[in-house]
Amino acid sequence: MAEKTIPILPCRTIQPVLEFYTALGFEVTFQQKSPNPYAVVERGGIELQFFGLKQYEPAESVSTCFVLTDDVDGLHAVFRAGLKKAYGKVPSRGLPRIGPLKDMSYGVRQFLMTDPGGNCIRIGQRTSEDQHHRRAPEETFARALHHASLLADSKEDPAGAAKVIDRVLGLEDERPTPVQLLRLLVLRADVAGRLGDDETATTTLTKATAVQLSPEDRESVRDDVDRLEDLRN
């Protein structure tokens, strides 16, 4: 027996969704305009199907699916390039948008991508056989990073992530290491942008850029350094 699961996702109108996925390198393999709008896109082993629903509100969508890959870095780079070519920039907030690559605490390296229909596509690569959430670290700033990252990039709760980071950076009796400070500031600037708080995003990016790291430390947080450059551009 050979089974295959194919997600069928809602959208208000089909065409913007198809344009988004073709920008990513997908092929439209089926499209029906009446009696009910329906379409299928495929790229390699990924197949997604969509149906139109006039009463649907993309901004309030909770629909999602998970795509498992063995080259999450490669897909992230290709998708970013395709979106930049189609939209003139890499969209990081609003609809559509694509998030940063992150090593999550449950043994997955992933990024989140949300299409014009509000469907969140989680694309990940397993980095461990243990898919359970790891316990939060005990150390103050590592713990804050753990929780803020989950809120921002797993639960898509940027406001919650901002509260965690603001609280821990406001402590007067403890200070983060330079690596921890950079990671916290980059994530804070990232979620500020998602929340439309451009003033906080700009001032936080300035602080993050000023953090001094050794070459070894910089390499250890390569994803965060790359994200910092993305946010500055």
For the residues 52-58, what does the mean pLDDT come to?
94
Q: Do 200 and 117 share a structural domain?
A: no
Q: Do 13 and 120 share a structural domain?
A: yes
Looking at residue 18, its pLDDT comes to 98
Q: Do 164 and 89 share a structural domain?
A: no
Q: Is residue 130 part of a domain?
A: no
Helix (H, G, I), strand (E, B) or coil at 121: strand
Cα separation, 66 vs 49, in Å, equals 14
For the residues 193-212, what does the mean pLDDT come to?
95
The domain spanning residue 226 has which CATH number? 1.25.40
| DSSP line for 136-182 | PPSSHHHHHHHHHHHHHHTS--HHHHHHHHHHHHT-SS----HHHHH
Give the tens place of pLDDT for each residue, 166-178: 999 999 999 999 9
Element (H, E) at 98: strand 97-98
Looking at residue 88, its pLDDT comes to 93
Cα separation, 191 vs 126, in Å, equals 25
Please say which residue of 125, 145, 161 terminates a domain: 125
Specify the pTM. 0.83
Looking at residue 228, its pLDDT comes to 93
For the residues 137-162, what does the mean pLDDT come to?
92
Residue 24 domain boundaries? 8-125
Lowest mean pLDDT segment, chosen from 50-54, 149-153, 201-205: 149-153
Q: Is residue 160 part of a domain?
A: yes
CB 223 within 8 A of CB 102: yes
- The larger pLDDT score, comparing residue 41 to residue 152, is at 41
Looking at residue 106, its pLDDT comes to 86
Q: Do 80 and 58 share a structural domain?
A: yes
Q: Do 107 and 18 share a structural domain?
A: yes
Give the confidence band of 60 by pLDDT, cuts at 50, 70, 90: very high
Looking at residue 172, its pLDDT comes to 92
Looking at residue 134, its pLDDT comes to 77
Q: Do 121 and 27 share a structural domain?
A: yes
For the residues 186-193, what does the mean pLDDT come to?
95
- Tell me the average pLDDT of the chain: 94
